[in-house]
Structure formats: C-alpha cells, structure tokens
Structure 1
Amino acid sequence: MKQAAVFLDRDGVINHDHGYVSKVDDFEFIEGAIEAMQQLKKAGWLLVVVTNQAGIARGYFSEQQFLSLTEWMDWSLADRGVDLDGIYFCPHHKDYGSEDYRIDCNCRKPKPGMLLEAAKELGIDLTNSWLVGDKGSDLLAAKNAGVSNRILVKGQYPLKAEELQLASSQVSSLKEAVSIILQDER
C-alpha cells in the first residue's frame, strides 16, 4: 500500500536561505522547523527533501561539499528524532556549468522528476501527499507530479499571481504549514 508524504524544499523552508548554502557554518535551521518535522514524523508522514542545487552546476561548491552538508543535516535531524525518508537533489542547470551539469534535466524544479523518482522508490501516494516550498518552481513541480496539496512559505522571493494560485495555502513558516497538514488529517 502506498503512503502519503510531505515533500519539503530545503533552503527557505528547513533552513534560512542565505544564497547557495554549502557549509555547515552557513546552515541555520529556521526556528520551529525541527519541531514541525518531529510532529509530522510522530503523525506517521514520510518526509522527503527535494532541493534544486544549481550552486553545484555554477561551480560555487562541489557535489561532494553538498553531500557532506546534507549528511550533517540528516544526522542533525536524526539526533532530534527526525528520520528523513529521502533526500533528492538536482545539481543541474540548463545554462551554467560543465557538460556534466549543464543539461535540461527532468529533475530540476519546476519539472517533477525528483518527486516522481521519490514516489517510485518509496512507494508514495502523490495524490494524498503535500509539498511545502517557498518558490513558484516548488509549487509547479508538485502540480506537475500530481501533488494537489501545495503550501507556499512566503519568504524572500516575490511570486507572480499565477504562481500564488498554485498554492492551496500560504503560510509564514513550516511550523504553520504543519498545523494545516495535521488539521486536514482529521
């Protein structure tokens, strides 16, 4: 039987988006984010991080640096009772980087590749899942994957009217998003 998941963008939802975060010293969890993820895990949700990481393609940091930071984040969360069920990232950009990374892939949001791959690998029921993101590309990727529950964390990025319409709800934090998700379960 397939299980529903909550897909989370990383920068701007889990941690403060300081622009191309690639070092532990620059990684700062948003207040309340860890507790929000703990609530979701206690309620039985799968938690899957889906994150564009164009800084790899642009040469700002290496894929290994990203993986090291991700391992630190994953262990930091696990130490606090949050076991992520999956972490998917896109290192590509169609306009920047070496041949290995300068491609028009299916995984870079707004394309649905990361969500579809997670659904296949983890047995996720996309129609009953949620996405929490802070950009229009997050919301569009969820729509393109068949995820109808899409929450926008309003942050530092301006959004167009058509992007705002993709959100089922708009909130100021992951903590607020979790209240909506858990209330919807009842």
Structure 2
Amino acid sequence: MPKVKNIFLDRDGTIIKEKHYLSNPQEVEFISGAKETLLEMKKRGLKLFIITNQSGIGRNYFSLEDFYKVQKRLDSLLGEEIFTHTAFCPHTPEDNCNCRKPKTGLFAALKEQYHLNPEECVVIGDKVSDILWGKNLNFALSCLVLTGHGSKEITRLNLKLPWQPLHYQKVETDFPLLIARDLKAAWQGIKDLDYV
C-alpha cells in the first residue's frame, strides 16, 4: 500500500464548528484540536485540501464573496498557508451537478492539476457524502468524524459495531473506513494504522 500524501478535508463540522450555512467570518470557530492537527499534518509534508459542499450559495443564503471571506478568516486563524487548494460545490442537490459530493467532479480537475493518485489520498468528513466520495474515488481511506453531523450520519451507514466512547475504530466494510471522535483522533488513527 502506497503511503498517503494527500488529505482531503470537509470544512464545516470537521475543521470548524457547524454553524448551518456559515456566512459570517467572525463566527469561524475551530473544533477542539483541529488547528493543531492541521499544523501537524502540514509539518509532516502532506498536501491538505478542503473539499466542501456549499449549497448555501446556490440557495442564495449567502454569496460567493461571503464564502471567500469565511475561507480567508479560516486561513488567517491558522496563521500560515496550510491548504494546497480549496474546492467547493456551490450547487443545491436539486441542480444535479457533477461536483457535489459524493459525485467526483471536483476531484477530476484537482487530480490533473496536482498529479494526484487516489491510492495516496484520504478523506475526512462528518457526512456520509464525504465517506462515499472517498469510496467512489477508491481512496486509501475514508474517515467519518463524529463532530458536526457525524454522530447522526453514522446511523446511515448501518454499521454493526460494539459501540463505545472511542478515539478511533477501523471498520470492516467493502471499502476502507475509519470512524473517529474528531479530526485529531482521525489523524491519530491514520498514523497508528501506518497510512503515513
């Protein structure tokens, strides 16, 4: 198995607290441990990508400019350039576009631009759409965090788990899946399971 070189991260509910159609940059707030985890990932030499569905734009809840302001605030709070690229889908589910996760359109452009090999990629997110996105792309690993929507979304996976308060747990499915308490725990699992 090749070592992971690229980590794709959902934004809202994974890195920053879920605020339901976040449009105010002053409301950007890291989930506990996320900032330090991102800095450690970057220090390890990994390329970090944000990959996010932002249907609030398509629903006219906020503007493209609002999205960029929120992103700029996130970047400034990190204190250094962490993300190789931020890719987002502005469409609503009803638009039936090819870029809304779990569809893979956003990855196609990034794959060419950054010479990405799916076997060297991991996705971390708080929704089943994030996990299926990784599955659809044959990523080395998909990680569902229980922050944001994760604790509700996990029931959609119909997993038979001996459930307990956990740090992280590798799950046997038809694709590589890790369930983790939060981004920090997902990163610990990625390291412990020898993906990096």
> TM-score, length-normalised on structure 2?
0.82
Q: Deviations over 1:24-59 (max 9, x none)?
A: 122111111010011111111100000000001111
- TM-aligned CA deviation for residue 182 of structure 1: 2.2
Asked if the contact 1:13/1:132 (under 8 Å) is kept, the reply is: yes
1:132 corresponds to: 124
Q: Distance in 2 between matches of 1:82 and 1:173?
A: 22
Q: Deviations over 1:119-155 (max 9, x none)?
A: 2211222112110011100011111122130111013
C-alpha distance 133-180 of structure 1, shift in aligned 2 (>3 A):
same
1:175 corresponds to: 184
- TM-aligned CA deviation for residue 22 of structure 1: 1.2
Q: Identity of aligned pairs, percent?
A: 33
When structure 1 is superposed on structure 2, of 22-31 and 159-168 the one drifting more is 159-168
C-alpha distance 37-64 of structure 1, shift in aligned 2 (>3 A):
same
- TM-aligned CA deviation for residue 167 of structure 1: 5.8
Asked if the contact 1:128/1:149 (under 8 Å) is kept, the reply is: no
Unmatched 5+ residue regions in structure 2? 160-170
Quick check: 1:4 aligned with 2:5? Answer: yes
Q: Deviations over 1:86-137 (max 9, x none)?
A: 1000000143xxxxxxx32111001012223222211222112110011100
Asked if the contact 1:9/1:49 (under 8 Å) is kept, the reply is: yes
1:122 corresponds to: 114
Asked if the contact 1:106/1:112 (under 8 Å) is kept, the reply is: yes
2:166 corresponds to: none
- TM-aligned CA deviation for residue 162 of structure 1: 5.0
Instruction: Work out the number of aligned pairs and report it.
Output: 175
Asked if the contact 2:28/2:73 (under 8 Å) is kept, the reply is: no
C-alpha distance 82-17 of structure 1, shift in aligned 2 (>3 A):
same
Where do residues 138-153 of structure 1 align in structure 2 (5 Å cutoff)? Answer: 138-153=130-145
Aligned with residue 97 of structure 2, among 102, 105, 108: 105
Quick check: 1:91 aligned with 2:86? Answer: no
> TM-score, length-normalised on structure 1?
0.86
Asked if the contact 2:14/2:124 (under 8 Å) is kept, the reply is: yes
When structure 1 is superposed on structure 2, of 118-127 and 44-53 the one drifting more is 118-127
